[in-house]
Amino acid sequence: MFADVASQKVYNYWDRIGDLLATFFPNQMNQKRIYFGTAIDKIPTQFQNSSNYIWLKDFKKNQYAQLNLIRNQVVHYTTTDTEYRHQHLEIIYDKPAIISLQQNREGLADYYKEHLKLGNEGYEKTLLLLLEEINQVLYTQTTNPNP
C-alpha cells in the first residue's frame, strides 16, 4: 500500500512542477491538460539548449516515464501488492524466481528514495535555474531612473 501511495505522490509532485512551468507560458499550454510531460514539451525552443531543460527533458524520457508506467498500473489496473501476489502464485515452486520477486519488492523503498533525490534535483533545475533563465528573458523589467 505504501509503495502505491509513494508512486502517486511522486507523480503528483512532478505534476506540480508542470503547473509551475506552465505559469511562465500561459498562452502556450492548454490550462486543463497541464502535466509535467506536457509542460516540458511546450517549453519554447529558445530555452531548449539550457542544461537545466536538457536534464528535465532527459528525466521525463527516462525515470519519469518508468514512474508513470508504475503509477498507471497502480491507479488504473492492479495494486503493487495484488500484482506481487499474482506473480508469487505463478512461480510458487521456483525458489530463485521467488527470491528475485521478493528482492524487487523490497527494492521499492530504495526506488522511491532515489525519486526523492531526483525530485530535489529537479526542483533545483526548475526553480533556481530554468525558471531563472526564462525569467531573465521574458520578464526582465527596466527600471525608471527617475521614479
In a domain, 71, yes or no: yes
In a domain, 12, yes or no: yes
**Looking at residue 145, what is its pLDDT?**
55
pLDDT tens column, 46-85: 999 999 999 999 999 999 999 999 999 999 999 999 999 9
| Spatial distance between the Cα atoms of 26 and 19, rounded to a whole number of angstroms | 10
Q: Classify the C-alpha dihedral 6-70-11-121 as positive or negative.
A: positive
| Spatial distance between the Cα atoms of 67 and 111, rounded to a whole number of angstroms | 10
* Domains held by the chain: number: 1
| Spatial distance between the Cα atoms of 140 and 135, rounded to a whole number of angstroms | 7
Going by pLDDT thresholds of 50, 70 and 90, the confidence category of residue 141 is low
DSSP type of residue 44: -
In a domain, 147, yes or no: no
In a domain, 144, yes or no: no
Overall average pLDDT of the 105-115 stretch: 95
Q: Which domain holds residue 120?
A: 2-136
